[in-house]
Amino acid sequence: MMTELAIDRGASTAGEEPPGEVVDGRASARVSGRVPPSPLDAPTIISVKDLSIFYGDNQAVFSASLTVPEKRITAIIGPSGCGKSTLLRTLNRMNDFVEGVRIEGAVEYRGTDLYDPKVDPVEVRRQIGMVFQKPNPFPKSIYRNIAWGPSINGYQGDLDELVKSSLEKAALWDEVKDRLHDSALALSGGQQQRLCIARALAMEPAVILMDEPCSALDPVSTSRIEDLLFELKQRYTIVIVTHNMHQAARVSDLTAFFENGHLIELGETQQIFTRPQNQRTEEYVTGRFG
């Protein structure tokens, strides 16, 4: 029998100060107002431990370990083919659909092993939603794009209100409220991507994974998505894969740099881009390769 993942949304402590804990002097300094809170001080929501991922005999990720803090934006950067998207899809078991994929190690969500046989992968994907590189609205109306997932999952609330609130959270309501029953395919590319974000939000996830969400968008649409990310992280944890280092520097709290399937460095974004600890990280963020 499969079990549902347990979430206590009311118990979140994101942003609270650790009681009496001093980490490199930051906690005591914050009390006096000298140092802003570190994103690393937020509670961990996802923990990746010694994760290796294989496609048949080919290894794509090598013994990666990292933590994802709650209600923060974590960016994963690195050259093409370095394992970024492979790792991202493992966080909500999307790689289950890829034949021949095998994982070693652990991925834990709020302390629960996501790959435990008792865990329902459908429930995993409800609580850890995903937005893909290319906008992929269903060939249905704008309204049905939002309402369809909750409906087939037995949603008992007011669907009209859910559709409205999801579109509002995705900063799209004012643009589509008078054409909810028009085809979603008639929207612009940027609007379609925000619709896909709204569709994910309608499932009431705690975490949103984004795989290059702006790579197919124009600069104006990209800017709107980035502005939206700042609003969403007040309620959700976001993990974003991006080739755009400027974007990672603008929107994320933490950055993980991958190269050839190896996690080279993980740290606060400002530190990664201004004071990287690893020479390969410095060479990548300064444009010497990649």
Q: What CATH number has the domain bearing residue 69? A: 3.40.50.300
The predicted structure's pLDDT at residue 38: 72
The answer to whether residue 101 is domain-embedded is yes
- 3: which strand partners? 119
Average pLDDT of the chain to the nearest whole number: 88
In this prediction, residue 289 has a pLDDT band, given cuts at 50, 70 and 90, of confident
The answer to whether residue 178 is domain-embedded is no
The answer to whether residue 116 is domain-embedded is yes
The answer to whether residue 173 is domain-embedded is no
The predicted structure's pLDDT at residue 36: 59
d(CA 47, CA 30): 26
d(CA 27, CA 24): 8
Neighbouring C-beta atoms of residue 28, cutoff 10 Å: 13
CB 83 within 8 A of CB 61: yes
Residues spanned by the domain of 242: 39-136+189-285
CB 92 within 8 A of CB 209: yes
Q: How many domains does the chain have?
A: 1
What would the mean pLDDT of 62-69 be, rounded to a whole number? 96
The answer to whether residue 11 is domain-embedded is no
d(CA 86, CA 83): 5
d(CA 101, CA 93): 11
The DSSP code for 251 is H
The answer to whether residue 167 is domain-embedded is no
The answer, yes or no, to whether residue 33 has pLDDT greater than 60, is no
The answer to whether residue 95 is domain-embedded is yes
Which amino acid, residue 187?
Answer: L
The answer, yes or no, to whether residue 213 has pLDDT greater than 70, is yes
The predicted structure's pLDDT at residue 161: 97
The answer to whether residue 244 is domain-embedded is yes
